[in-house]
Amino acid sequence: MAISEAGGARPRPWRAYLVLCAVAFAALIAVALSGQAALPVAAAGAAVIAALAVYLALPRRAGAAEDASSEPVREGANLSAQARDIFEHVDDPLLILDAAGRVIFANRASKSVIGGEAEGKRISGVLRTPEVLEAVERIIAGGEAENIAFTVLVPLRRHYEAYIARTSGPLIVIRVRDLTAMRRAEELRADFVANASHELRTPLAAVTGFIDTLRGHAKDDAQARERFLEIMSIEAGRMRRLIEDLLSLTRIELNEHNPPAGEVDVVAIVHDVAAALESLAEPYGSRVVMAPHEPLRVTGERDELCQVFQNLIHNAIKYGRSGGEVRVRFGRAAPSKREGAGQVFVTVADNGEGIPREAIPRLTERFYRVDVKRSRERGGTGLGLAIVKHILNRHEGRLQIESTPGEGSTFTVFLPAAPTAAPSESHS
* Residues whose CB is less than 8 angstroms from the CB of residue 22 and which lie 6 or more positions away in sequence, other chains included: 46, 49, 50, 52, 53, 54
C-alpha 363/C-alpha 348 separation (Å) is 16
The answer, yes or no, to whether residue 55 has pLDDT greater than 80, is no
Of the CA atoms within 13 Å of residue 303, those in its CB half-sphere come to 3
Helix and strand totals (H; E) in the chain:
15, 12
C-alpha 101/C-alpha 104 separation (Å) is 9
Predicted pLDDT at 394: 92
The answer, yes or no, to whether residue 330 has pLDDT greater than 90, is yes
- Per domain, the residue ranges of the chain are 5-69, 72-178, 183-254, 263-416
Confidence of residue 21 (pLDDT cuts 50, 70, 90): low
Averaging pLDDT over each range in 215-219, 231-235, 339-343, which range is the top one? Answer: 231-235
CATH architecture of structural domain 263-416: 2-Layer Sandwich (3.30)
Confidence of residue 19 (pLDDT cuts 50, 70, 90): low
The whole-number average pLDDT for the span 218-240 is 85
Taking a C-beta distance cutoff of 8 angstroms, is the pair 352, 324 a contact?
yes
Single pTM value for the model: 0.56
* Residues whose CB is less than 8 angstroms from the CB of residue 264 and which lie 6 or more positions away in sequence, other chains included: 297, 298, 300, 301, 302, 305
The answer, yes or no, to whether residue 70 has pLDDT greater than 60, is no
C-alpha 236/C-alpha 42 separation (Å) is 117
C-alpha 251/C-alpha 143 separation (Å) is 48
Lowest mean pLDDT among 135-149, 224-238, 288-302, 373-387: 373-387
Q: Identify the bridge partners of residue 64 per DSSP, sorted by sequence position.
A: none
C-alpha 302/C-alpha 75 separation (Å) is 63
Secondary structure of residue 312 in the 3-state scheme = helix
Secondary structure of residue 150 in the 3-state scheme = strand
Is the preceding omega at residue 170 within 30 degrees of 0, hence cis?
yes
| CATH class held by domain 183-254 | mainly alpha
Predicted pLDDT at 11: 44
Q: What share of the chain is helix, strand, coil (3-state, %, to 5)?
A: 50, 20, 30
Confidence of residue 176 (pLDDT cuts 50, 70, 90): very high
Phi and psi angles of residue 299, each rounded to the nearest 5 degrees, phi first: -85, 115
243-287 pLDDT, tens digit per residue, is 888 888 888 888 888 888 899 999 999 999 999 998 888 888 888
Predicted pLDDT at 244: 87
* Residues whose CB is less than 8 angstroms from the CB of residue 380 and which lie 6 or more positions away in sequence, other chains included: 318, 369
The whole-number average pLDDT for the span 373-393 is 82
CATH architecture of structural domain 72-178: 2-Layer Sandwich (3.30)
Cα–Cα separations (whole angstroms), residue 208 to 189, 231, 235, 308 = 28, 12, 11, 34
107-164 pLDDT, tens digit per residue, is 988 888 887 788 889 999 888 889 999 999 999 998 999 999 998 887 778 899 999 9
Phi and psi angles of residue 179, each rounded to the nearest 5 degrees, phi first: -105, 10
Is the sign of the CA dihedral 241, 246, 250, 256 positive or negative?
positive
> Residue 403: which of 348, 334, 343, 322 has the closest Cα?
348
* Residues whose CB is less than 8 angstroms from the CB of residue 73 and which lie 6 or more positions away in sequence, other chains included: 120
More confident residue, 343 or 190: 343
Confidence of residue 63 (pLDDT cuts 50, 70, 90): very low
The answer, yes or no, to whether residue 61 has pLDDT greater than 50, is no
Indicate if 263-416 has the same CATH topology as 183-254. no
* Residues whose CB is less than 8 angstroms from the CB of residue 125 and which lie 6 or more positions away in sequence, other chains included: none
More confident residue, 219 or 413: 413
Predicted pLDDT at 10: 42
Residue 11 DSSP class: -
C-alpha 108/C-alpha 337 separation (Å) is 30
Residue 253: CB atoms within 10 Å: 14
The answer, yes or no, to whether residue 72 has pLDDT greater than 60, is no
